[in-house]
Amino acid sequence: MTRAAKIRIKSKRRRKRVFAQYRFQCLYCSSKENLTLEHLTPIVKGGTADMANLAVSCYDCNYKKGQMTHEEFCVAYSIPDRKEAILMQLRLDIH
């Protein structure tokens, strides 16, 4: 298997884990339609592709968010920050 193929498989697994972690719904509006993988802190602002910086958002929210950080977007659009609640529920479900 080539290195590129291994990277694609790893990326698909990571994507599936992130989508499952966020229960296949948008972090911002809870939509289950047109979901995308997004960076909480955009790469252009120093974000990484680490699991801790990845979330799920619908296309519309991701488009509106643009290059804002997760926190900036929540404040700008008066959206409750549900990230910690979702991650806490995931920890409770595991135990």
With CA atoms as reference, report the closest residue to 17 among 50, 48, 41, 47.
Answer: 50
Residues 64-76 pLDDT 10s = 999 999 999 999 9
Residues 22-46 pLDDT 10s = 999 999 999 999 999 999 999 999 9
With CA atoms as reference, report the closest residue to 23 among 70, 55, 63, 71.
Answer: 55
pLDDT in the model for residue 84: 79
For residue 37, CA distances in Å to 2, 3, 57, 63, 94 come to: 25, 23, 6, 12, 23
Cβ atoms < 10 Å from Cβ of 62: 21
Q: What is the DSSP letter of 71?
A: H
- The model's pTM is 0.81
pLDDT in the model for residue 75: 93
